[in-house]
Amino acid sequence: MPKTKRSPLWLLGKSGAYAVLLLGLVATLLPFFYIMVSSLKNEAELRKTPPDFFPQEPTLKHYITILTDERIPIERNVMNSVFVSLMRVGITLFTSSYAGYIFAKYHFRGKNLAFGVILIQIMIPFQVVMIPNYLLVVKLGLIDSLWALIIPSMVDAYGIFMMKQFIESMPGELMDAARIDGATEFGIYSRIVLPQMGPPLASLGIFTFMATWNDYLWPLIVLTSPEKRTIPLLVVWFQTQHSSNQGLILAASILTLLPIFFVYIFLQRWIVDQATQSAFK
Which residues in 9-48 contact another protein (CB under 8 A)?
14, 17-18, 20-21, 24-25, 27-32, 34-35, 38, 48
Sole binder of another protein in the list 58, 90, 141, 172 (CB under 8 A) = 172
Q: Which amino acid appears at position 191 of this protein?
A: R
Report the distance separating Cα 219 and Cα 233, nearest Å: 8
Residue 2 sits in the site that holds another protein (CB under 8 A): yes
Report the distance separating Cα 264 and Cα 270, nearest Å: 9
Report the residue count for the chain. Answer: 281
The answer to whether 145 and 219 have CB atoms below 8 angstroms apart is: no
Report, in Å, the least distance between residue 61 CB and another protein.
Answer: 18
Would you say the C-alpha torsion 222, 228, 232, 235 has a positive or negative sign?
positive
Sole binder of another protein in the list 12, 64, 130, 177 (CB under 8 A) = 130
Report, in Å, the least distance between residue 163 CB and another protein.
Answer: 13
How many C-beta atoms lie closer than 10 Å to residue 47's C-beta?
11
Report, in Å, the least distance between residue 112 CB and another protein.
Answer: 6
Q: First CA to last CA across the chain, in angstroms?
A: 32
Considering only residues 257 to 276 of the shown chain, the ones binding another protein according to CB under 8 A are 257, 260-261, 264, 268-269, 271-272, 275-276
Sole binder of another protein in the list 8, 57, 132, 266 (CB under 8 A) = 132
Report, in Å, the least distance between residue 198 CB and another protein.
Answer: 22
Q: Which is nearer to another protein, 51 or 141 (CB)?
A: 51
Report the distance separating Cα 167 and Cα 224, nearest Å: 41
